[in-house]
Amino acid sequence: MKTTRFYVIIAAFLFTAVSCVENSQKYKAAVAERDSLATEKLMLDSSYNQTLALLNDIETGFAEITQTEKQMKLNLQSVEGPKVNRRQLIAAQMSAIKQGIEQNKARITELEQLASKNGKINAMLTATIKRLQTQMEEKGLQIKSLQAELDQKNIKITELTTTVTQQSKSIAEQSRSIEEQQQALEKQESTIKQQDTEMNAVWYCIATPKELKAAKIITDGGLFQSKKVLSSEFDNSMFAQVDQRSAVSIPTYSKKVKILSQHPVNSYTLVTGEDKNLTIEITDPARFWSVSKYLVVQK
């Protein structure tokens, strides 16, 4: 019984002591400091993770910019070649590079702000930020140089396009001029050919007296007049047209003929064939047709 009372008294004493400690200012300050340290640790961990993430994004951004820049330089080397449509690809790559630079600038600014909030910028982080800023400035200068080169290429391409357009226009004008000259030449040749045909055109008619009279190719003369050949009203359809240069042999298909039109006697001969039919052989075409362009033969 006495032992039990002893333990009860000890427990009450300890409870009172603990209660007094928990209510003391030192204890409360210690707990507050512990909680503050824990919170600060969490904030530091979060800030550290954010810093690492930003650094990783910035380095990745620089790598992407550099890769795009290399591809763009390769495309710039062949932009004046046959694949002029590369200009669109180059423009897209330049846009991507500029966008990447702006994103990296924003990330570096965010990194500075994050370090300032932390209030404990160490020397290594400060050096890293400065290095990134310097790298960003250098990259900006490189992009300006690329932009200048691209502008120069565009100027050359524009000049080349203008030259090609002018040459195409000149060729088109020359082609049109040649075509007009060709048409004029063809027209002239056609006119000359027609004139040549007309100049060398001659006609002949071989018919019976009755047919010749009916066509008014010959008309009876008066009592003291001979027959008139080729009156003003004769039927031209009775005549066949030939070229005096090639028509040097005219078959009559008759054994007896009489040439009624006027032609020099020594410019032709009558040749009897195996079938006894006569053929007019013109020995001197120019003289034969010099008096009359119409040959009238009565059979």
How confident is the model over 122-160, as pLDDT tens digits? 667 777 888 888 888 888 888 888 788 777 776 555 555
Residues 53 and 124 both lie in one domain:
yes
**Rounded percentage of the chain residues whose pLDDT exceeds 90:** 26
Residue 34 — very low, low, confident or very high, per pLDDT cuts 50/70/90? low
pLDDT digits (tens, 9 = 90+) for 49-107: 777 777 788 888 778 888 887 877 777 666 555 455 667 777 777 788 888 888 888 88
Residues 21 and 131 both lie in one domain:
yes
Q: What is the mean predicted confidence (pLDDT) over 3-23?
A: 50
Residue 111 lies in a domain: yes
Residues 37 and 134 both lie in one domain:
yes
Residues 132 and 207 both lie in one domain:
no
Residue 18 — very low, low, confident or very high, per pLDDT cuts 50/70/90? very low
Residue 163 lies in a domain: yes
Res 211: pLDDT: 92
Residue 42 — very low, low, confident or very high, per pLDDT cuts 50/70/90? very low
Q: What are the residues whose beta carbons fall under 8 Å from the beta carbon of 208, sequence distance 6 or more? A: 298, 299
Residues 150 and 11 both lie in one domain:
yes
Distance of CA 77 to the CA centre of its chain: 21
Q: How many CB atoms lie within 10 A of CB 252?
A: 19
The total number of structural domains that make up the chain:
2
Residue 122 lies in a domain: yes
Helices (H), 119-232: 123-199, 209-214
What CATH number is given to the structural domain containing 116? 1.10.287
Residues 284 and 234 both lie in one domain:
yes
Res 299: pLDDT: 93
Res 41: pLDDT: 46
Residue 119 — very low, low, confident or very high, per pLDDT cuts 50/70/90? low
pLDDT digits (tens, 9 = 90+) for 208-252: 999 999 999 988 765 455 678 887 788 889 999 999 999 999 999
Residue 184 lies in a domain: no
Residues 88 and 165 both lie in one domain:
yes
Residue 281 has pLDDT above 90, yes or no: yes
82 vs 141: CA distance, rounded Å: 30
Q: What is the mean pLDDT of the chain?
A: 77
Residue 245 lies in a domain: yes
Q: What are the residues whose beta carbons fall under 8 Å from the beta carbon of 89, sequence distance 6 or more? A: 75
> Order of strands across the sheet with 249-251?
249-251, 278-282, 268-272
Handedness of CA 138, 144, 150, 153 (dihedral sign): negative
Residue 137 lies in a domain: yes
Nearest to 78 by CA among 143, 153, 161: 153
**Radius of gyration of the CA atoms of the chain, in A:** 60
Residues 146 and 225 both lie in one domain:
no
Residues 275 and 223 both lie in one domain:
yes
Residues 146 and 269 both lie in one domain:
no
Residue 127 lies in a domain: yes
39 vs 51: CA distance, rounded Å: 18
Enter the pTM of the model: 0.42
Residues 50 and 136 both lie in one domain:
yes
Residue 21 has pLDDT above 50, yes or no: no
Residues 140 and 213 both lie in one domain:
no
Residue 182 lies in a domain: no
Amino acid identity of 91? A
Q: Which domain holds residue 227?
A: 200-298
Residue 186 has pLDDT above 80, yes or no: yes
Q: What are the residues whose beta carbons fall under 8 Å from the beta carbon of 241, sequence distance 6 or more? A: 201, 202, 203
Helices (H), 81-122: 86-118
